[in-house]
């Protein structure tokens, strides 16, 4: 059971929409999740003689049945599955991957925020839901739904505590200007799990909770169609197994769609996020920070039953690195969490932003101002050998070497040789590095507002990692 502090009843006899959302569907850190227990038209509400705007698609028979059918088992679906089970429901989960730990959460940076957690209380950190809401709305450009943001904030702290109780190894990260991994929040409310640097720890804990409860998960099975009865109610789904078999699965109490949003479907992104139309045309390459199985299936199914899809912004940055032809999104280099002596340069060899600022990473500016919207992260071997270099760059270097990738991850004995490898003007790159080293001597700030200058870029071999536009998550 999740801990409740709002007076709502939990358990098989006290299941309510709020109590279920409290434990599962809404706690997923902004992952698009839709509960479709009653989606569709109501025959009693239609005017007599008016034909329904849908075609009933309930099959003659069902292959599997459960109280709650959950489509997708990332962090959203996994949380919902555990909570639904603990509320006394039978649960059936459908997952396209062969392992829930390969989901978007694992590929993410791994941060989860929570207000008034037990760890905050232990550390004497005072927090407030109103400050949380202001932080989220500020960082989201005030495009978010205020009611959803408030609901998320109200349950965020107990969600972090609940995940820790389930077995996730939760670590509180207190950020300052020197170690800024996220300056989204004005109060220390960021949490990660071990291993630091991705979201694997969340999914390891949730996988253990699912296995401990014996919740049935149909792996390597993709949901394709939502099924509606004559009254328009969503009552189940058609799913396709790896071997091509079609199964009809029934949800007697409801169907939850948590398939990961738009993911890597760039055409769908261009449909739902107009800014992506420009990016699709102008960017040299557009990568996705989602697994290859995440292609907007859920949104397509919701659209097919006339479900409402909240418009989403193009949440993208310039951190995608190709180190595996089959999974290009597996390598995302985030300079703002590693800013001692690296720079980002355009194809012209020029810096264009404050590499240490989170707000510079996920924003339309500055990437739309550089040719092809791609750039190269440049650092020296001293930086590679530093703690941050080993945490953030070395795994990418190792993966590239293992996959014989030599065009996106390059080392060179000289700046001129490095520039030639990426087709960057050598004189321009050398001038840029000399200017950066000058700011190290003076302490800055530079014209971009950067104030973090620890070491010069001067120790060979010199490293360059090409980064392309990467679409992060669809939050809508």
| Spatial distance between the Cα atoms of 385 and 351, rounded to a whole number of angstroms | 23
| pLDDT-derived band at 361, boundaries 50, 70, 90 | low
Closest CA to 287 of 238, 320, 244: 320
Q: Express each pLDDT in 422-456 by its tens digit.
A: 999 999 999 999 999 999 999 889 999 998 898 99
The tokens describing 6, both together, are 């709002």
pLDDT digits (tens, 9 = 90+) for 29-81: 333 344 444 444 444 445 566 666 678 889 999 999 999 999 999 999 999 99
Predicted confidence band of residue 352 (pLDDT cuts 50, 70, 90): very high
User: pLDDT tens digits for 86-136?
Assistant: 999 999 999 999 999 999 888 887 889 999 999 999 989 999 999 999 988
Give the global pTM. 0.77
Distance CA 323, CA 403 (A): 7
Q: pLDDT tens across 159-202, in order?
A: 999 999 999 999 887 654 444 444 578 888 889 998 887 899 99
| SS3 of residue 61 by DSSP | coil
Average of per-residue pLDDT values in the chain: 83
Q: Are 71 and 97 in contact (CB under 8 A)?
A: no
Separation between Cα atoms, residue 75 and residue 205, nearest integer Å: 10
Q: What size, in residues, is the chain? A: 476
Q: How far apart are CA 329 and CA 323, in angstroms?
A: 8
pLDDT for residue 35: 43
Please give the Cα distance from 25 to 81 (Å, whole number). 9
Tokens of 28: 């997923």
Average pLDDT over residues 452-469: 94
Contact 471, 287 (CB under 8 A): yes
- Per-residue pLDDT band for 12 (boundaries 50, 70, 90) equals very low
How far apart (Å, rounded) are the C-alpha atoms in residues 316 and 474?
9
Q: Between 113 and 414, name the one with better pLDDT.
A: 414
Higher-pLDDT residue of 14 and 87 is: 87
């Amino acid at each position: 059971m999740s801990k409740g502090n709002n007076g709502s009843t939990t358990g098989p006899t006290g299941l309510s929409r709020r109590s279920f959302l409290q434990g599962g569907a809404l706690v997923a850190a902004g992952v698009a999740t839709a509960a479709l227990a009653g989606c569709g038209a109501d025959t009693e509400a239609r005017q007599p003689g008016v034909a329904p705007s849908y075609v009933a698609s309930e099959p003659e028979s069902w292959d599997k049945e459960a109280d709650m059918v959950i489509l997708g088992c990332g962090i959203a679906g996994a949380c919902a599955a555990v909570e639904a089970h603990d509320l006394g429901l039978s649960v059936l989960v459908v997952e396209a991957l062969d392992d829930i730990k390969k989901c978007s959460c694992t590929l993410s940076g791994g941060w989860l925020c929570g207000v008034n957690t037990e760890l905050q209380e232990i550390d004497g950190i005072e927090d407030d839901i109103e400050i949380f809401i202001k932080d989220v709305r500020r960082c989201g450009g005030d495009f978010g739904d205020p009611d959803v943001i408030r609901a998320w904030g109200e349950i965020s702290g107990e969600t972090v505590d609940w995940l820790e109780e389930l077995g996730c190894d939760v670590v509180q990260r207190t950020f300052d200007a020197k170690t800024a991994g996220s300056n989204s929040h004005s109060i220390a409310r960021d949490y990660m799990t071990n291993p630091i640097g991705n979201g694997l720890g969340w999914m390891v804990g949730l996988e253990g909770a699912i296995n401990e409860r014996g919740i049935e998960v149909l792996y390597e099975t993709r949901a394709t169609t939502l099924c509606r009865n004559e009254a328009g109610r969503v009552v189940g789904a058609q799913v396709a197994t790896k071997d091509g078999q079609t199964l009809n699965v029934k949800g007697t109490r409801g169907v939850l769609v948590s398939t990961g949003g738009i993911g890597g479907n760039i055409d769908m992104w261009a449909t739902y996020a107009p800014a992506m139309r420009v990016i699709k045309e102008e960017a040299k390459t557009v990568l996705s920070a989602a697994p290859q199985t995440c292609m907007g299936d859920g949104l397509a199914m919701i659209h097919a039953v006339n479900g409402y899809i909240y418009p989403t912004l193009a949440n993208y940055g310039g951190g995608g690195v190709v180190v595996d032809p089959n999974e290009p999104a597996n390598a995302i280099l985030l300079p703002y969490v590693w800013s001692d002596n690296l720079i980002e340069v355009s194809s012209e060899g020029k810096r264009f932003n404050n590499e240490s600022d989170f707000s510079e990473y996920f924003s339309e500016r500055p990437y739309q101002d550089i040719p092809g919207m791609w750039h190269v992260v440049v650092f020296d071997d001293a930086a590679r050998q530093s703690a941050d270099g080993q945490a953030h760059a070395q795994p990418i270097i190792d993966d590239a070497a293992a996959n014989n990738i030599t065009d996106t991850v390059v080392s060179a004995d000289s700046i001129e040789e490095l520039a030639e490898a990426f087709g960057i003007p050598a004189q321009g790159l050398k001038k840029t590095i000399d200017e950066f080293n000058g700011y190290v001597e003076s302490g800055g700030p530079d014209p971009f507002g950067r104030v973090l200058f620890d070491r010069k870029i001067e120790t060979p071999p010199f490293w360059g990692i090409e980064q392309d536009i990467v679409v992060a998550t669809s939050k809508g």
